[in-house]
Amino acid sequence: MIVMDGCGAGEAPDAAEFGDLDHPATIRHVYEANGGLNAPNLAACGFLAACGAPTPAGSGARYGRLRELSKGGKDSVTGHWEMSGIVTEQPFPTYPLGFPPEVIAPYESAIGRKVLGNKPASGTEIIKELGAEHLRTGFPIVYTSADSVFQVACHESVIPVAQLYEFCQTARAQLVPPHGVQRVIARPFAGTPESGFTRTERRRDFPMPPPPNLCDRVGDVFGIGVVPELFAGRGFRTVHRTQNNAEHTEMLWQALDSDARFIWANFEDFDMRYGHRNDPIGFARCLEEFDRTLGEMLSRRRPDDLIILTADHGNDPTTLSTDHSREFVPFVAISSEPGKALGSVDGMTAVGASVAAHVGVDWAIGTVLLGDSAV
Give the contacts of 30 (CB within 8 A, at least 6 positions apart). 37, 280, 283, 284, 287, 317, 318
| DSSP 8-class letter at 139 | P
Write out pLDDT tens, residues 152-196.
Answer: 999 999 999 999 999 999 999 999 999 999 999 999 999 999 999
Q: What pLDDT does residue 73 have?
A: 87
Does domain 101-206 match CATH 3.30.70.1250? Answer: yes
Write out pLDDT tens, residues 52-87.
Answer: 998 887 677 999 999 999 998 899 999 999 999 999
The residues spanned by each domain of the chain are: 2-86+210-359, 101-206
pTM metric for this prediction: 0.88
Contact (CB, 8 A) for 264 and 249 = no
Is a pLDDT exceeding 80 seen at residue 207?
yes
With b for 16 or more beta-carbon neighbours within 10 A and e for fewer, the 39-50 pattern comes to bebbbbbbbbbb
Note whether 2-86+210-359 and 101-206 share their fold.
no
In this prediction, residues 199-213 reach a mean pLDDT of 93
- Alpha carbons 315 and 274: distance in angstroms, whole number: 9
Does domain 2-86+210-359 match CATH 3.40.50.720? Answer: no
